[in-house]
Structure 1
Amino acid sequence: MKYISTRGAALALGFEDVVLTGLATDGGLYVPETLPEFSHAEIASWAGLGYRDLAFKVISPFVAGAIPDADLKRIIDSSYDTFRHQAIAPLVQTGHNEWVLELFQGPTLAFKDFALQFLGNLLDYILAKRQQKVVVLGATSGDTGSAAIEGCRRCENVDIFILHPYQRVSEVQRRQMTSVLEPNVHNIALQGNFDDCQNLVKASFSDQSFLPAGRQLVAVNSINWARIMAQIVYYFYAGLALGAPHRPVAFSVPTGNFGDIFAGYLAKRMGLPIDQLVIATNSNDILHRCISSNDHTKKPLQHSLSPSMDIMVSSNFERMLFDLYDRDGAQINSLMNEFKNSGALHLAPAALDKARALFSSYRLSDEETVAVIKDVYENTEYLLDPHTAIGVQAARKTRRDTSTPMICLATAHPAKFPEAVKQAVAEGDPALPHHMRDLLARDERYQVLANDLSSLKSFISSNIRA
């Protein structure tokens, strides 16, 4: 299996190299040269498999011999041993043919654990084999950072630096990152928003001369292909649980950086019969505007009750554009340069038609989000976090066929976002799970930095272990 850049000018890479590379040299994102496809019979034969065994079936074609099967199985097994629920990704019914897929049973209570526990173990394996040390650099709007830190905190060959927007993540999200005190873990509170964090990370990847000799940056944001690959699995897992491939299924996905719903799109192309994919956004609605009115224009970022979706530039949308434009790298390069320079991008009619055939979209305000949390709790006694609430309401507003199971991805535990929950439910003060009960009393360590590339590079270079 080879991986190619969305902008068409970088060398194709094998699996291990693409995991360690992140952004391509031409500024693009790596995608598989060809996508594995599974037959109806093959998918049907997976019914009843546990999550770990199913993950091996879905992931192994992307690895394609780069890692021996026995080693890959061990990496997968150890990645999901840290999850609190035996099902790994349990389903809960919240309405007629409406289901919530609980993706928050991992160690940091967010869906990012599915990919980042796997990526941490994968990096450990590859780096030990290569006798190599790397610097992991990532930006987070709240959940990626803690999941990446949890996945890498025990990696001997990794120094990890995570940027979060200063005072723009919830206290639980911040403390999940800043209370990890291992010497290889460094948290940076950037005086800016998530897009500023993401821009500094991308700029650092484009010029790595500030690193010591022999070191390179590795991405943990969803620009890293391994993250997308790991997320494909739970679409198959949920679909099989509700009757696929013998019946179609639908998914509604709280969407910020587009990585999670892109994994759903790939699952559909690989053979899972997905009838509808819903892009659910908050007031930072560039993706909804793009699908509904061909308006992919940057606007000022708004701070919301669903901060993990407070993103205006969705990096993984470039991977989607690559397919919408028939994998024409030169055209994607031109489009992305136009967006960088003007802050606006408009899809060609043929690309827009394809996007609208693939995706529905919906946008919710904070007030509407709170109302959904309240409504679902009053009718089912099930407590949603604000991101999941957006997914549930988007599904209800755009659903085409009530006979098709609608699966709403629950991306975080409600205890991570008590502000929204308390506004919705008078007695709602969601407790942290037992293993995190002392979180708010733990010591913290982090560095506040200005939104300045040279300051970031200086901090990183001076804190890398020998």
Structure 2
Amino acid sequence: MRYLSTRGGVEPVGFAEAVMMGLGTDGGLLVPEHIPRLSEDTLVAWSRLSFQALAVEVLAPFVGEAMPRADLVALVEHSYGRFSHPEVTPVVEQAGRPWLELFHGPTAAFKDVALQLLGNLFEYFIARERGVLRILGATSGDTGSAAIDGVRGKAGIEIFILHPKGRVSPIQERQMTTVLDANVHNIAVEGTFDDTQRIVKALFNDLAFKRDYRLGAVNSINLARILAQTIYYFYAWGRLSGGDPAHRVSFSVPTGNFGDVFAGWLAKRMGLPIDRLIIATNRNDILSRFVASGVYRAGEVYHTLSPAMDIQLASNFERYLYYLLDQDPAAVRALLAEMEQTGQLQVDGERQRRVAEDFDARAVSDAETLAEIRRVYQAGGYLLCPHTAVGARAAADHPDAVVLATAHPAKFETAVVEAIGIEPAPPPPLRGLLERETRCVELPAEAEAVSRFMRETLDTSAREHP
């Protein structure tokens, strides 16, 4: 399997190069040269597999010859060895609907499913090359802690994570800033998550800086993140369908950066019998407005009870746009130029119709989020984090849809207490975080300030550890 850029300026690369490159050198996002199409017999066979065995099968055609199958099997087993549930991502029936629980990893959020794997992929390829990697990422909450956990203490890797100061939950902040390993560097940016994403993209587009410091990406601009997230769509379908290829399943996906729902769209393109993919957003509703109108226009970033979705410019939207425009990089570049010049882009009526075939979408208010947490809890004692509650409320007209439960409710104690008056019991990874020592620097929302800090940190490290 080879990988191309959505903007057409990257020569096809293999899986290892795609993982290490992260963002394309032309500023685009990497996509597979072709999407494998699965037979019904394959789907039936996969439906009986454990999560780990399924992960190997899903990933194998994308990994190709980048590593021996035995190494892929070992890497997958290692990546999911720290999950607290034997099924890794179990499907549970509560309050009259199925929930796909994605919070049983070491940082209690769905990002662990991809970032435990990605951290081990980085380590594998670095060891093979005897090289180094400097990871740069931005987080609206959960990506940062999951990425840090995935690479902390790993030889040859330094990680720099940007988060918007005061715009993540206290637990999310402490999950990042209490990790004191020497290779971990947290940066609180005085701005929004969109500001942090802008800085990351600017530094990746500084090709000299990227080359000199060997930058790698952990955000969902890294295609390996998306590929890993397709696994649990296949797993959930297998558990609900009994392996019947005629059984179609819908999913409601809380999303801000479009990565998780794009993974579901990719699984559907591979042949998974998905009926509807419901894009669940909060007040930051650029994606739901696009589905309704065909117009993608950024607005003000609002701070909500579901902060990981407080995003206007969804980085993975470009991947979907590439396929919506029939894999035409020139058309992608033209629409992105339109966005740059006018603040918005618009697709034609035929493509808007295709968007409506691919997705339903609904924006959910904070009041509705609290009401949904309360309703589900009163229906049987099942607790939701606010992001999961957004997914549940958006799926109100789809009672059979699987809602992706993206984080443990204890990560968002304030919203849960406001909804039901009860503090959620934290799982072991979250206990005692607020009492631990922290380390973090605060910087203005400027690419130059971040690059200067990175240069100084890495140059000092090189002098101390030649």
User: AA paired with 2:433?
Assistant: L
Tell whether the 8 Å contact from 2:296 to 2:346 is kept in structure 1 after alignment.
yes
More helix by share: 2
Tell whether the 8 Å contact from 2:7 to 2:28 is kept in structure 1 after alignment.
yes
Residue in 1 that maps onto 2:417: 422
* Superposition deviation, residue 211 in structure 1: 6.5
Residue in 2 that maps onto 1:439: 433
Residue in 1 that maps onto 2:374: 374
* Superposition deviation, residue 343 in structure 1: 1.6
Question: Do structure 1's residue 131 and structure 2's residue 125 form an aligned pair?
Answer: no
* Superposition deviation, residue 19 in structure 1: 0.4
Helix, strand or coil: the match of 2:65?
coil
Helix, strand or coil: the match of 1:141?
coil
Distance (whole Å) between structure 2 residues aligned to residue 103 and residue 350 of structure 1: 35
* Superposition deviation, residue 159 in structure 1: 0.5
User: AA paired with 1:419?
Assistant: T
Residue in 2 that maps onto 1:290: 290
Helix, strand or coil: the match of 1:267?
helix
User: AA paired with 2:413?
Assistant: P
Residue in 2 that maps onto 1:461: 455
Distance (whole Å) between structure 2 residues aligned to residue 24 and residue 337 of structure 1: 17
Residue in 2 that maps onto 1:198: 197
Distance (whole Å) between structure 2 residues aligned to residue 217 and residue 349 of structure 1: 40
Residue in 2 that maps onto 1:239: 237
Residue in 2 that maps onto 1:9: 9
Residue in 1 that maps onto 2:225: 227
Tell whether the 8 Å contact from 1:108 to 1:150 is kept in structure 2 after alignment.
yes
Tell whether the 8 Å contact from 1:301 to 1:312 is kept in structure 2 after alignment.
yes
Tell whether the 8 Å contact from 1:250 to 1:274 is kept in structure 2 after alignment.
yes
Distance (whole Å) between structure 1 residues aligned to residue 84 and residue 343 of structure 2: 43
Tell whether the 8 Å contact from 1:100 to 1:409 is kept in structure 2 after alignment.
yes
Question: Do structure 1's residue 271 and structure 2's residue 266 form an aligned pair?
Answer: no
Distance (whole Å) between structure 1 residues aligned to residue 81 and residue 193 of structure 2: 31
Distance (whole Å) between structure 2 residues aligned to residue 292 and residue 46 of structure 1: 35
* Superposition deviation, residue 210 in structure 1: 4.0
Structure 1's consecutive aligned runs of 4 or more residues displaced over 6 angstroms after TM superposition are: none
Distance (whole Å) between structure 1 residues aligned to residue 255 and residue 337 of structure 2: 23
Residue in 1 that maps onto 2:113: 114
Helix, strand or coil: the match of 1:164?
strand
Distance (whole Å) between structure 2 residues aligned to residue 449 and residue 159 of structure 1: 19
User: AA paired with 1:117?
Assistant: Q
Helix, strand or coil: the match of 2:396?
helix
* Superposition deviation, residue 412 in structure 1: 0.5
Normalising to structure 2: TM-score of the pair?
Answer: 0.96
Residue in 1 that maps onto 2:406: 411
Distance (whole Å) between structure 2 residues aligned to residue 316 and residue 47 of structure 1: 28
Residue in 1 that maps onto 2:172: 173
User: Which segment is superposed worse, 284-293 or 342-351?
Assistant: 342-351
Question: Do structure 1's residue 76 and structure 2's residue 70 form an aligned pair?
Answer: no
Tell whether the 8 Å contact from 2:306 to 2:387 is kept in structure 1 after alignment.
yes
* Superposition deviation, residue 373 in structure 1: 0.3
What whole-Å deviation, never above 9, does each CA across 1:211-246 have from its counterpart, x for those lacking one?
Answer: 684x31101000001000000000000000001434
Structure 1 segment 34-73 matched on structure 2, within 5 A:
34-73=34-73
What whole-Å deviation, never above 9, does each CA across 1:282-319 have from its counterpart, x for those lacking one?
Answer: 00000000001223111110000000000000010110
Distance (whole Å) between structure 2 residues aligned to residue 60 and residue 126 of structure 1: 16
User: Which segment is superposed worse, 452-461 or 202-211?
Assistant: 202-211
User: AA paired with 2:445?
Assistant: N
* Long gaps (5+) in structure 2: none
User: Which segment is superposed worse, 406-415 or 435-444?
Assistant: 435-444
User: AA paired with 1:118?
Assistant: L
Structure 1 segment 296-445 matched on structure 2, within 5 A:
296-397=296-397, 399=398, 405-426=400-421, 428-445=422-439
User: AA paired with 1:235?
Assistant: Y
Helix, strand or coil: the match of 1:209?
helix
User: AA paired with 1:460?
Assistant: M
Tell whether the 8 Å contact from 1:252 to 1:395 is kept in structure 2 after alignment.
yes
User: AA paired with 1:370?
Assistant: L
Tell whether the 8 Å contact from 1:388 to 1:410 is kept in structure 2 after alignment.
yes
Identity of aligned residues (%): 49
User: Which segment is superposed worse, 376-385 or 432-441?
Assistant: 432-441
Distance (whole Å) between structure 2 residues aligned to residue 392 and residue 262 of structure 1: 18
Tell whether the 8 Å contact from 2:107 to 2:430 is kept in structure 1 after alignment.
no
User: AA paired with 1:406?
Assistant: A
Helix, strand or coil: the match of 1:240?
helix
Tell whether the 8 Å contact from 1:119 to 1:151 is kept in structure 2 after alignment.
yes
Tell whether the 8 Å contact from 2:391 to 2:404 is kept in structure 1 after alignment.
yes
Distance (whole Å) between structure 2 residues aligned to residue 386 and residue 248 of structure 1: 27
Helix, strand or coil: the match of 1:23?
coil
* Superposition deviation, residue 208 in structure 1: 4.4
Tell whether the 8 Å contact from 2:291 to 2:356 is kept in structure 1 after alignment.
yes
* Superposition deviation, residue 73 in structure 1: 0.7
What whole-Å deviation, never above 9, does each CA across 1:366-413 have from its counterpart, x for those lacking one?
Answer: 01100000000001210000000010111113x2xx5xx411001100
Distance (whole Å) between structure 2 residues aligned to residue 324 and residue 144 of structure 1: 27
User: AA paired with 2:438?
Assistant: E
* Superposition deviation, residue 463 in structure 1: 1.1
Distance (whole Å) between structure 1 residues aligned to residue 448 and residue 209 of structure 2: 9
User: AA paired with 2:401?
Assistant: M
Equivalent pairs, count: 458
Over the residues paired in the alignment, what is the CA RMSD in angstroms?
A: 1.2
Tell whether the 8 Å contact from 2:3 to 2:14 is kept in structure 1 after alignment.
yes
User: AA paired with 2:414?
Assistant: E
Tell whether the 8 Å contact from 2:294 to 2:348 is kept in structure 1 after alignment.
no
Distance (whole Å) between structure 1 residues aligned to residue 25 and residue 340 of structure 2: 17
